[in-house]
Structure 1
Amino acid sequence: MTSTNTLCGVAPAPKPKRRAFTADYELSVLGLCEAASPAERGALLRRERLYHTQPSDLT
């Protein structure tokens, strides 16, 4: 019996890469978040595909 990293002869999918944000992008998103109401902030984060904890991580 041999050990392989495949299941049924199919190689696993590559690991997804984490997103990297530029400083300009971070500052623009933080500025928009600070100026937005809570409802607008939620829409902004969904549009940018960010989680609610990520703006605090950007600071």
Structure 2
Amino acid sequence: MSSPAPEDFSHARPKPHLSVEELLAAKNTQPIRSLDELAADTFESDEELEQFLAFTHAERHRDAA
């Protein structure tokens, strides 16, 4: 008899059910206190941001015509 294929998860152990609070505590997360904490310098310039937004807009509406 052959062993089960690696993608066969029928014999996998069930994971314990943890609450959201327990999962957050395990990761030692902290609440967001300011929107500044979420800020990221993704684009190097306003021009680069504008190019990205124009591209995104064009791609979203490409098949609508």
Q: Normalization by structure 1: what TM-score? A: 0.26
Give the greater-gyration-radius structure (CA): 2
Q: Normalization by structure 2: what TM-score? A: 0.24
